[in-house]
């Protein structure tokens, strides 16, 4: 049988796990009739439609915007978070980059801090808790100064934007042999620490975020650069160095993450 350019066949090995309590395993499916123009997730849609037709439960995987910005999709494909295409999420990866007949292994993000919920869906709420600990500028709605009152150099604004591009997908954690979340944490902390608006609570921010990161069970950064290699937004590891620096300074200054209780305070 000859395969035309409009039809590819794949051997899909995908992680199936009923829920957090039940152990899972890789299950193989043969999938034909895949167009090279399909996105990776459309290929999985096809798989699910076929499973549906057979009365088998479809594979659960997280996805939403399918244009690489919401950060929901989270598949480890052939050993690489977001698959072999560089600087894109798996939802933006198209089947034409795979070889016809290839075996594709699909697994969820693996990390103690990201427990599997079902199949390839994991719980990434640890990231939310890190942001809740310090990934913000403590400013209420209203009463803010005019936006142009505080000049910010283009270089700093651009650098902050490089860091702010993070979509919180967790590929950095998934790729890291230590499951370190430091690229994620440092991107948010650096964005806010670089900008004058965020400087007031810079020390407190890094201390709280690192403390929460550790408490959530993420590992340490050993500077392997895996995070940077898989980051769909190309966030560089130099932000990790910045976080280490900010953290060391905060410690040297003896800054404490918890403010001292004030008598008669609010």
Partner 1 sequence: MSLDSKSPAGPIAQKWDKHRFDMKLVNPANKRKYSVIVVGSGLAGGAAAASLAELGYNVSCFCFQDSPRRAHSIAAQGGINAAKNYQNDGDSVYRLFYDTIKGGDFRAREANVYRLAQVSAEIIDQCVAQGVPFAREYGGTLSNRSFGGAQVSRTFYARGQTGQQLLLGAYSALSRQIGLGKVKMYNRSEMLDLVVIDGQAKGIIVRDLVTGKITRHSADAVVLGTGGYSNVYYLSTNAQMCNVTAAWRAARKGAYFANPCFTQIHPTCIPVHGDHQSKLTLMSESLRNDGRVWVPKKKEDCGKKPSEIAEADRDYYLERKYPSFGNLAPRDISSRSAKEVCDEGRGVGPGGRGVYLDFADSIKRLGLKAIQDRYGNLFQMYEKITGENAYEQPMRIYPALHYTMGGLWVDYNLMSNLPGLFVIGEANFSDHGANRLGASALMQGLADGYFVLPYTIGNYLAQQKEKAPSTDHPEFVKAEQEVHDRLNKLMSIKGKRSPNSFHHELGHLMWENVGMARNEKGLKEALAKIPQIREEFWKNLNVLGDKEDLNNALERAGRVADFLEFAELLTLDALERKESCGGHFREEYQMPDGEAKRDDENFAYVAAWEFKGVGQAPVLHKEPLNYEEVHMSTRSYK
Partner 2 sequence: MPLIKFLRSTVGLKIIMGLTGAALFAFTVIHMVGNLQIFLGQEALNNYAQMLHASDEVIWGFRLGLGAVAALHILCAVVLTIRNRAARGKESYAEYAAPGASLASRTMAVSGVIVAAFIIFHLLHFTTQTIDPSFKELTEIHKGAERHDVYAMVIKGFSVTWVSVFYIISVALVSFHLSHGIASCFRSMGLTNPAYREVQEWFGLAFAIIIFVGMAAVPAAVLLGLVKL
Q: Which of residues 49-88 bind partner 1 (CB under 8 A)?
A: 49, 52, 55-58, 60, 62-72, 85, 88
Determine, following the binding rule CB under 8 A, whether residue 8 of this chain makes contact with partner 2: no
Give how many residues touch partner 1 by CB under 8 A: 79
Residue 22 as a binder of partner 1 (CB under 8 A): the answer is no
User: What is the bridge-based pairing of β-strands 8-16 and 103-108?
Assistant: parallel
Q: Where are the beta strands (DSSP E) in 134-236?
A: none
Give the separation between CA 238 and CA 176, rounded to whole angstroms.
16
- Could you give the CA distance from residue 116 to residue 18 in angstroms, rounded to a whole number? 10
Q: Hey, which residues does 219 pair with through a beta bridge?
A: 180
| DSSP H/E element including 75 | strand 75-77
> Interface with partner 1 includes 182 (CB under 8 A)?
no
Length of the chain equals 266
Q: Which CB, 64 or 116, lies closer to partner 2? A: 116
* 10 binds partner 2, rule: CB under 8 A: no
For the record, the structure tokens of 71 come out as 């950060």
- Interface characters, 244-263, with partner 2 (x: CB under 8 A): xxxxx--x--xxxx------
Closest by CA position to 209, among listed 196, 191, 227: 191
Binder of residue 105, out of partner 2, partner 1, none (CB less than 5 to 8 A by kind): partner 2
* Residue closer to partner 1, measured from CB, 32 or 45: 45
Answer with the entry of partner 1, partner 2, none that 161 interacts with (C-beta below 5 to 8 A by kind). partner 1
User: Which of 3, 11, 112, 125 is the binder for partner 1 (CB under 8 A)?
Assistant: 125
Decide whether 206 or 220 has the Cβ nearer to partner 1.
206
Of positions 103, 132, 222, 223, contacts partner 1 by CB under 8 A: 132
Site string for partner 2, 27-66 (x = CB under 8 A): ----------------------------------------
- Chosen from partner 2, partner 1, none, partner binding at 3 (C-beta under 5 to 8 Å by type): none
Tell me the two tokens of residue 246. 């900010």
Closest by Cα among 114, 138, 129 to 213: 129
The conformation of residue 177, written as its DSSP 8-state character, comes to T
Give every CB contact of residue 204 below 8 A, 6+ residues apart in sequence: 134, 250, 255, 257, 259
Query: Site residues for partner 2, window 197-226 (CB under 8 A)?
Result: 207, 210-211, 213-214, 217-226
DSSP symbols for 161-204: HHHHT-----HHHHH-TT-B-HHHHHHHHHHHHHSHHHHTTHHH
Q: Interior CA angle at 8 toward 72 and 68, to 5°?
A: 20
Binding site for partner 2 (CB under 8 A): 13, 24, 26, 76, 78-81, 105, 107, 110-113, 116, 175, 177-180, 182, 207, 210-211, 213-214, 217-230, 236-238, 240-248, 251, 254-257
């Amino acid at each position: 049988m000859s395969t035309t350019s409009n039809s590819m066949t794949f051997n899909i090995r995908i992680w199936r796990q009923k829920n957090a309590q039940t152990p899972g395993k890789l299950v193989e499916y043969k999938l034909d009739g895949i167009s090279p123009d399909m996105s990776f997730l459309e290929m999985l849609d096809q798989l699910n439609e076929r499973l549906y037709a057979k009365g088998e439960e479809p594979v659960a995987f997280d996805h939403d915007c399918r244009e690489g910005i919401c950060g929901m999709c989270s598949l480890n494909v052939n050993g690489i978070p977001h698959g072999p295409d560089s600087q894109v999420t798996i939802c933006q990866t198209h089947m034409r980059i795979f070889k016809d007949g290839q075996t594709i292994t699909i697994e969820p993000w693996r990390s103690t801090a990201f427990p599997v919920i079902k199949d390839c869906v994991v719980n990434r709420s640890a990231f939310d808790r890190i942001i809740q600990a310090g990934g913000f500028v403590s400013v209420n709605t209203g009463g803010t100064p005019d936006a142009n009152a505080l000049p910010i150099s283009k270089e700093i604004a651009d650098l902050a934007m490089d860091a702010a591009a993070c979509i919180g997908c967790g590929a950095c954690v998934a790729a890291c042999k230590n499951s370190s979340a430091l690229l994620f944490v440092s991107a948010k902390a650096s964005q806010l620490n670089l900008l004058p608006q965020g400087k007031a609570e810079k020390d407190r921010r890094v201390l709280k975020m690192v403390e929460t990161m550790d408490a959530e069970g993420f590992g340490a950064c050993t500077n392997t650069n895996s995070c940077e290699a898989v980051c769909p937004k190309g966030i560089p590891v130099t932000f990790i160095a910045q976080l280490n620096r900010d953290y060391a300074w905060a410690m040297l200054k003896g800054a404490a993450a918890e403010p001292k209780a004030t008598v008669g305070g609010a």
